[in-house]
Structure 1
Amino acid sequence: MHRFVWQAVWAACVMTLGAGMAHAASAEAASGIAVQGEAEVRVLPDRAELSVAVEAQKAEADAASKAAEAAAARFLAAARALGAEDRAIQSTSLRLSPEYRWDEERRQQVQIGYRARRDISVQIEQLERLPEFLKAATEAGMTHIAPPRLYAHEAKLHQREALRLAMGDARANAEAIAAASGKELGGVISVDARDEQHYPVEPRAMMRASADQMESQEASAFSAGEIVYRARLRARFAFMP
C-alpha cells in the first residue's frame, strides 16, 4: 500500500515538473526578444505647391479691388500658359478691408484707404518649371510668394517601403541575437511602428534669385534636393519552444 502511494506521488511530481518546464519554455517563447529596426527611402521630389498672394492698398475701395484683381488675373493667365490646369489651381475670393493709421493729434485711428487681397495656390506637376512660375508671379505683380512646398506624388508608397525595410532590419537584428543565444527565432508577437518625412530645405534663396535674377539664370539651375522617408519600429519576436 505504502509502495503504491509513493509511486503515485513520484508520478505526480514528475508530471508537475514536466508541466512547469513546458510552461517555462512556453513563457520564454511568448516573451521572446524585443529589437529595433530602422530604414529610410530617399526620392527626388517631382511636384511642387506654390502659394502666392497680391495685396493692393488704395485710397478708394474700387481702385484697390481692381489693382488686386488685375494682378491675380495676370498670374492665373501665365500659370495656365505654363501648363497648370484648372483642377490644380485654388484661388480665394477678393478680400477687402479698411486701412487705418493712428492720428496722434486726435488720439484715434483714422481711415486712410482700403486694402484688397487675393490668394492663389498652384500645384505644379512639372517640377523643372517651378522657376518659370516664380518668374510669372513676380512679373504679374504678386506681392507675396511663399517658399514652394516640394513633394513626391507617391508619398504613401515610399513610406510603406521604408516601413517594410525597417521590419526587415528588425528581423535581421532578432535573428542575429537568437543565433548568438543558440535559439531559433519564431514569429512576430507585436510591432510598434512610427514613420516620418523630411522634406528638402525650402528653396528661399532660389526663390529670391528667381525674382531678382531670372533674366540671367536658366531654369535648369534649380536644385530640389531629396525627400527622406524614415521608419523606425520596435518589434517583439518569439523564440521557438
Structure 2
Amino acid sequence: MIRFALLSLLLAISAPAVAQVNALPPTRHILVYGDAQARAIPDRFKIKVSFDVVDRDAGKARRKVEAYLADVIASLKAAGVDENEIVATAMSVEPRTREDEKTGEDIFVGTEVERSLTATFDRKDALERFIAGLQTSRELTVSSVSTELADEAALRRALREKSIEATREKATTIARAYGAKLGALYSVSDVAPQFQYGVSAGGWPSGYDWFGDSQSLDRIQVTGSRIERNRVALQTGYVTYTDRIYAVFLLAD
C-alpha cells in the first residue's frame, strides 16, 4: 500500500509536466509568445509605520505602543487620509532576550510589544508633510514607502489585450513568410512552456513594448529621498508593467 501511495504521488506531481510537454499538436503548428509593457508614474502612495517597545513592565510596553498608534492615526486623519485607508496589524507580544558574551546564556531583557500600520495617500505632497512631522525613534520607525495604481485592473486588461494581439501578429507574419496559412488557435497560456524545443522560462526574450498612458502604474518605486530642515522630498521614478502570453497556432493546409 505504501509503495502504491508513493507511486500515485509521483504520478500526480509529474502529470502537469507531462501534460505540458505533450501540449504540442502532432500536426504542423507555430509556437509564439506575445508581450506588452507599459511605463507609468505613481498616483497612490502607501506608508508603513512600525512600533516596537521593549520593557520589563509588559503593561507599560503595551500602553506605550497603543499611545504611539493613536497619535499616528490622529496625524494621518489630520493629513486627510480616510480611515478606510488606514490598516493596523494585531498586537504581537513576546519575551526579548540577549546572549551573555561570557556565558553564552540568554538573559531576559523584557517584554517586546509590536504593532504596525499602513496608510495610503492620494497625494505625494500630503505624504511628504506627514513624514516631515513624524517624530521617529527606536520605538517608532517608517518601515517602507510604496505605491499602488488606482486603475491597476484597467491597465492589466489593456496589457493583456496587447500581448494577445502580439501573438496573432507574430504567428501571422511567420506563417506568411514561409508560404503557409495560419489556422486555429490550439492552446494558450500565460505560463512559460518547456517543450521539446528546449526553451525554458528564462529563455524567452522580450520584444513587444507598449508604452501607454503615462499616468498609469503597477507599483511605485521611490528612487530617492532627503530631509532638509524638516522638509521631506520624495522623488519617484517610472515603473514598468509587463504581461506575456504563449500561444500555439495550427497551420492550415
Give the SS at the match of 2:135.
helix
The aligned residue for residue 88 of structure 2 is: 91
Give the SS at the match of 1:42.
strand
Q: Which residue identity is paired with 2:185? A: V
Q: Deviations over 1:155-195 (max 9, x none)?
A: 22212211211121222212222222233333322222249
- Contact 1:41–1:159 (8 Å) recurs in 2: no
Match of 1:230 among 242, 245, 253: 242
Q: Which residue identity is paired with 1:238? A: L
In proportion to residue count, which structure has more helix?
A: 1
Distance 2:82 2:73 in 1: 10
Match of 1:115 among 88, 112, 115: 112
Distance 1:39 1:107 in 2: 56
Q: Which residue identity is paired with 1:113? A: G
Q: Which residue identity is paired with 2:32? A: V
Count of aligned positions: 205
Which segments of 5 or more consecutive residues in structure 2 lack a partner in the other structure?
Answer: 1-24, 193-216
Distance 1:143 1:79 in 2: 15
Structure 1 or 2, whichever has the larger Rg, is 1
| RMSD, aligned α-carbons | 3.3
The two structures have a TM-score, normalised by structure 2, of 0.66
Distance 1:63 1:99 in 2: 15
Distance 2:74 2:88 in 1: 13
- Contact 2:36–2:160 (8 Å) recurs in 1: yes
Match of 1:192 among 169, 181, 189: 189
Q: Deviations over 1:22-57 (max 9, x none)?
A: xxxxx99x6332222121122222223221112223
Distance 1:178 1:158 in 2: 31
The two structures have a TM-score, normalised by structure 1, of 0.69
Distance 2:161 2:252 in 1: 23
Matched, 1:162 2:159: yes
Match of 1:54 among 51, 56, 60: 51
User: 1:8-157, aligned counterparts within 5 Å?
Assistant: 31-102=28-99, 108-138=105-135, 143-157=140-154
- Contact 1:38–1:233 (8 Å) recurs in 2: yes
Match of 1:213 among 228, 246, 249: 228
Distance 1:165 1:88 in 2: 32
